[in-house]
Homo-oligomer: A and B are copies of this chain.
Amino acid sequence: MLFFTQCFGAVLDLIHLRFQHYKAKRVFSAAGQLVCVVNPTHSLKYAPTRCAAAQVSTEQGILPPFHHHEAVHDPQVVPCTCPLFSCPWEGHLEVVVSHLRQTHRINILQGAEIVFLATDMNLPAPTDWIIMHSCLGHQFLLVLRKQEKYEGHPQFFATMMLIGTPSQADNFTYRLELNRNQRRLKWEATPRSILECVDSVISDGDCLVLNTSLAQLFSDNGSLAIGIAITTSKVHSAEAEM
Protein backbone atom coordinates (compact mmCIF):
# COMPACT_ATOMS: atom_id res chain seq x y z
CA MET A 1 0.00 0.00 0.00
CA LEU A 2 2.90 2.34 0.96
CA PHE A 3 4.57 1.50 -2.41
CA PHE A 4 1.46 2.50 -4.35
CA THR A 5 1.10 5.75 -2.32
CA GLN A 6 4.77 6.61 -3.06
CA CYS A 7 4.30 5.79 -6.77
CA PHE A 8 1.19 8.03 -6.89
CA GLY A 9 3.15 10.82 -5.14
CA ALA A 10 5.99 10.53 -7.67
CA VAL A 11 3.52 10.67 -10.59
CA LEU A 12 1.87 13.78 -9.06
CA ASP A 13 5.32 15.42 -8.69
CA LEU A 14 6.13 14.67 -12.33
CA ILE A 15 2.79 16.12 -13.48
CA HIS A 16 3.44 19.23 -11.36
CA LEU A 17 6.97 19.67 -12.80
CA ARG A 18 5.67 19.20 -16.34
CA PHE A 19 2.94 21.78 -15.68
CA GLN A 20 5.49 24.27 -14.29
CA HIS A 21 7.69 23.78 -17.39
CA TYR A 22 4.69 24.22 -19.71
CA LYS A 23 3.60 27.32 -17.79
CA ALA A 24 7.06 28.87 -18.23
CA LYS A 25 6.97 28.21 -21.96
CA ARG A 26 3.39 29.15 -22.82
CA VAL A 27 0.81 30.69 -20.55
CA PHE A 28 -2.78 31.49 -21.36
CA SER A 29 -3.58 34.86 -19.88
CA ALA A 30 -6.92 35.80 -18.33
CA ALA A 31 -7.97 37.37 -21.64
CA GLY A 32 -7.42 34.05 -23.40
CA GLN A 33 -4.44 35.36 -25.38
CA LEU A 34 -1.45 33.10 -25.87
CA VAL A 35 1.49 34.42 -23.85
CA CYS A 36 4.90 33.21 -24.90
CA VAL A 37 7.83 33.63 -22.53
CA VAL A 38 10.91 34.50 -24.59
CA ASN A 39 14.33 34.27 -22.99
CA PRO A 40 17.12 36.54 -24.21
CA THR A 41 20.04 35.47 -26.34
CA HIS A 42 23.26 37.46 -26.32
CA SER A 43 24.19 38.48 -29.85
CA LEU A 44 27.32 36.57 -30.73
CA LYS A 45 28.34 38.31 -33.89
CA TYR A 46 26.71 40.55 -36.45
CA ALA A 47 27.55 40.17 -40.12
CA PRO A 48 26.86 43.63 -41.59
CA THR A 49 28.49 42.88 -44.95
CA ARG A 50 26.10 40.01 -45.63
CA CYS A 51 23.15 42.16 -44.63
CA ALA A 52 24.30 45.20 -46.59
CA ALA A 53 24.63 43.12 -49.76
CA ALA A 54 21.24 41.51 -49.24
CA GLN A 55 19.59 44.89 -48.63
CA VAL A 56 21.01 46.63 -51.69
CA SER A 57 19.81 43.82 -53.91
CA THR A 58 16.30 43.67 -52.43
CA GLU A 59 15.99 47.48 -52.64
CA GLN A 60 16.71 47.17 -56.35
CA GLY A 61 14.05 44.50 -56.60
CA ILE A 62 16.65 41.79 -57.13
CA LEU A 63 17.17 38.99 -54.65
CA PRO A 64 20.60 38.47 -53.05
CA PRO A 65 23.05 37.17 -55.67
CA PHE A 66 25.58 35.79 -53.13
CA HIS A 67 28.70 37.24 -54.71
CA HIS A 68 30.89 35.24 -52.39
CA HIS A 69 29.90 32.06 -54.27
CA GLU A 70 30.29 33.68 -57.69
CA ALA A 71 27.51 31.50 -59.10
CA VAL A 72 23.96 32.21 -60.31
CA HIS A 73 21.65 31.06 -57.55
CA ASP A 74 17.94 30.37 -57.41
CA PRO A 75 16.40 33.73 -56.31
CA GLN A 76 14.39 31.86 -53.66
CA VAL A 77 17.64 30.72 -52.01
CA VAL A 78 18.43 32.95 -49.04
CA PRO A 79 21.27 33.03 -46.53
CA CYS A 80 20.39 32.34 -42.90
CA THR A 81 18.82 35.63 -41.84
CA CYS A 82 18.63 34.74 -38.17
CA PRO A 83 19.90 38.00 -36.73
CA LEU A 84 21.75 36.36 -33.87
CA PHE A 85 24.47 34.53 -35.64
CA SER A 86 26.72 34.88 -38.66
CA CYS A 87 25.52 31.48 -39.83
CA PRO A 88 27.03 30.02 -43.02
CA TRP A 89 23.76 28.26 -43.91
CA GLU A 90 21.77 29.19 -46.98
CA GLY A 91 18.67 27.59 -48.45
CA HIS A 92 15.27 28.03 -50.06
CA LEU A 93 12.72 30.31 -48.39
CA GLU A 94 10.56 27.20 -47.76
CA VAL A 95 13.18 25.66 -45.46
CA VAL A 96 14.16 28.80 -43.54
CA VAL A 97 11.58 28.02 -40.83
CA SER A 98 12.88 24.50 -40.20
CA HIS A 99 16.47 25.81 -40.19
CA LEU A 100 15.60 28.50 -37.60
CA ARG A 101 13.74 25.95 -35.46
CA GLN A 102 16.30 23.18 -35.64
CA THR A 103 19.62 25.04 -35.71
CA HIS A 104 18.78 28.18 -33.73
CA ARG A 105 16.03 26.59 -31.60
CA ILE A 106 13.61 29.48 -32.17
CA ASN A 107 10.09 28.68 -31.00
CA ILE A 108 7.11 28.99 -33.33
CA LEU A 109 3.68 30.08 -32.12
CA GLN A 110 0.26 29.80 -33.77
CA GLY A 111 -2.53 32.39 -33.59
CA ALA A 112 -3.52 35.80 -34.93
CA GLU A 113 -2.90 37.55 -31.60
CA ILE A 114 -0.19 36.57 -29.13
CA VAL A 115 1.70 38.17 -26.26
CA PHE A 116 5.49 38.12 -26.50
CA LEU A 117 6.89 38.24 -22.95
CA ALA A 118 10.58 39.13 -23.10
CA THR A 119 12.41 38.31 -19.85
CA ASP A 120 15.57 39.80 -18.30
CA MET A 121 15.24 43.22 -19.94
CA ASN A 122 18.01 44.51 -17.69
CA LEU A 123 20.71 42.37 -19.35
CA PRO A 124 23.40 44.50 -21.02
CA ALA A 125 23.24 45.27 -24.76
CA PRO A 126 23.55 43.72 -27.29
CA THR A 127 20.79 41.21 -26.51
CA ASP A 128 18.04 39.78 -28.74
CA TRP A 129 14.69 38.17 -28.06
CA ILE A 130 13.36 36.21 -31.04
CA ILE A 131 10.28 34.17 -31.83
CA MET A 132 8.51 32.88 -34.93
CA HIS A 133 4.82 33.47 -35.36
CA SER A 134 2.66 31.37 -37.68
CA CYS A 135 -0.45 33.21 -38.83
CA LEU A 136 -2.68 33.70 -41.93
CA GLY A 137 -0.83 30.92 -43.76
CA HIS A 138 2.60 32.53 -43.32
CA GLN A 139 5.46 32.57 -40.84
CA PHE A 140 6.77 35.78 -39.29
CA LEU A 141 9.90 36.46 -37.24
CA LEU A 142 9.60 38.89 -34.32
CA VAL A 143 12.87 40.43 -33.22
CA LEU A 144 13.30 42.56 -30.10
CA ARG A 145 16.83 43.93 -29.80
CA LYS A 146 18.56 45.85 -27.03
CA GLN A 147 21.34 47.84 -28.66
CA GLU A 148 23.53 50.85 -27.91
CA LYS A 149 23.06 53.12 -30.92
CA TYR A 150 24.52 55.93 -28.83
CA GLU A 151 27.29 54.71 -26.54
CA GLY A 152 26.14 54.23 -22.97
CA HIS A 153 22.45 54.67 -23.92
CA PRO A 154 20.89 51.30 -24.78
CA GLN A 155 17.56 51.32 -26.60
CA PHE A 156 15.03 48.62 -27.48
CA PHE A 157 14.02 48.03 -31.11
CA ALA A 158 11.17 45.72 -32.10
CA THR A 159 10.24 44.68 -35.63
CA MET A 160 8.50 41.91 -37.52
CA MET A 161 9.82 40.22 -40.67
CA LEU A 162 7.87 37.96 -43.02
CA ILE A 163 9.56 34.70 -43.95
CA GLY A 164 8.65 35.38 -47.57
CA THR A 165 9.27 37.83 -50.40
CA PRO A 166 8.85 41.65 -50.14
CA SER A 167 5.73 41.49 -52.38
CA GLN A 168 4.18 38.89 -50.04
CA ALA A 169 5.09 41.09 -47.04
CA ASP A 170 3.14 44.00 -48.58
CA ASN A 171 -0.08 42.01 -48.03
CA PHE A 172 0.19 42.24 -44.24
CA THR A 173 0.12 44.74 -41.40
CA TYR A 174 1.56 43.92 -38.00
CA ARG A 175 0.83 45.68 -34.72
CA LEU A 176 2.99 45.76 -31.60
CA GLU A 177 1.34 47.04 -28.44
CA LEU A 178 2.66 47.88 -24.98
CA ASN A 179 0.12 48.55 -22.24
CA ARG A 180 0.98 49.19 -18.59
CA ASN A 181 0.89 51.84 -15.87
CA GLN A 182 -1.91 53.80 -17.61
CA ARG A 183 0.27 54.16 -20.71
CA ARG A 184 -0.21 52.56 -24.10
CA LEU A 185 2.13 52.56 -27.08
CA LYS A 186 1.12 51.04 -30.43
CA TRP A 187 3.21 50.59 -33.57
CA GLU A 188 1.63 49.46 -36.84
CA ALA A 189 3.52 48.87 -40.07
CA THR A 190 3.95 46.56 -43.03
CA PRO A 191 6.35 43.75 -42.10
CA ARG A 192 9.67 43.66 -43.93
CA SER A 193 10.71 40.58 -45.86
CA ILE A 194 13.32 38.32 -44.31
CA LEU A 195 15.26 38.90 -47.57
CA GLU A 196 15.92 42.40 -46.23
CA CYS A 197 18.16 42.75 -43.21
CA VAL A 198 16.93 43.21 -39.65
CA ASP A 199 20.15 45.13 -38.83
CA SER A 200 19.39 47.83 -41.39
CA VAL A 201 15.71 48.06 -40.33
CA ILE A 202 16.95 48.73 -36.80
CA SER A 203 19.75 51.12 -37.79
CA ASP A 204 17.22 53.05 -39.93
CA GLY A 205 14.97 53.23 -36.82
CA ASP A 206 12.00 52.08 -38.94
CA CYS A 207 10.51 50.03 -36.11
CA LEU A 208 9.16 50.38 -32.58
CA VAL A 209 11.86 52.20 -30.60
CA LEU A 210 11.91 52.41 -26.80
CA ASN A 211 14.28 54.31 -24.55
CA THR A 212 15.37 52.42 -21.42
CA SER A 213 13.19 54.64 -19.19
CA LEU A 214 10.08 53.95 -21.30
CA ALA A 215 10.90 50.22 -21.44
CA GLN A 216 11.08 50.24 -17.64
CA LEU A 217 7.69 51.95 -17.37
CA PHE A 218 6.18 49.21 -19.54
CA SER A 219 8.03 46.27 -17.98
CA ASP A 220 7.00 44.30 -14.93
CA ASN A 221 9.67 42.73 -12.77
CA GLY A 222 12.24 42.83 -15.60
CA SER A 223 9.86 41.39 -18.23
CA LEU A 224 8.33 43.30 -21.13
CA ALA A 225 4.99 42.09 -22.56
CA ILE A 226 4.41 43.01 -26.22
CA GLY A 227 1.01 42.26 -27.73
CA ILE A 228 1.33 41.17 -31.37
CA ALA A 229 -1.41 41.10 -33.98
CA ILE A 230 -1.14 40.44 -37.72
CA THR A 231 -3.82 41.30 -40.26
CA THR A 232 -4.04 41.43 -44.03
CA SER A 233 -3.48 44.97 -45.33
CA LYS A 234 -6.62 47.01 -45.97
CA VAL A 235 -5.33 48.25 -49.33
CA HIS A 236 -4.87 44.72 -50.57
CA SER A 237 -8.16 43.59 -49.06
CA ALA A 238 -9.92 46.45 -50.87
CA GLU A 239 -8.19 45.55 -54.12
CA ALA A 240 -9.28 41.94 -53.70
CA GLU A 241 -12.88 43.07 -53.18
CA MET A 242 -12.87 45.14 -56.38
Interface of A is mostly: strand
Say yes or no: A187 contacts B187, CB within 8 Å.
no
Stretch of A41-49, A93-101, A210-218 on the interface side: A210-218
Say yes or no: A190 contacts B182, CB within 8 Å.
yes
* A53, CB-defined interface residue at 8 Å: no
* A183, CB-defined interface residue at 8 Å: yes
* A16, CB-defined interface residue at 8 Å: no
Cα–Cα distance between A173 and B182 once the two chains are bound (Å):
9
Residue of B nearest to A234 (CB): B182
Say yes or no: B186 contacts A184, CB within 8 Å.
yes
Cα–Cα distance between A175 and B71 once the two chains are bound (Å):
53
Contacts of A187 in B (CB 8 A): 183-185
* A153, CB-defined interface residue at 8 Å: yes
Cα–Cα distance between A213 and B205 once the two chains are bound (Å):
6
Residue of B nearest to A190 (CB): B182
**A41: min CB distance to chain B, Å:** 25
Residue of B nearest to A157 (CB): B211
List CB contacts (< 8 Å) of A202-228 with chain B: 204-206, 209, 211-214, 217
Contacts of A217 in B (CB 8 A): 206
Q: Can you spell out 8 A-B residue pairs with CB atoms less than 8 angstroms apart?
A: A183-B206, A184-B186, A184-B187, A204-B213, A205-B214, A206-B213, A206-B217, A209-B214
Q: A184-B189, A185-B187, A209-B211 are in contact. List 12 more A-B contacts (CB 8 A).
A: A150-B150, A150-B153, A173-B182, A183-B187, A183-B188, A183-B190, A183-B206, A184-B187, A185-B188, A205-B212, A205-B214, A206-B214
Chain A residues with CB under 8 Å of chain B are 149-150, 153, 173, 182-190, 204-206, 209, 211-214, 217, 233
8 interchain residue pairs of minimum CB distance: A205-B213, A184-B188, A150-B150, A186-B186, A205-B211, A183-B189, A182-B190, A205-B214
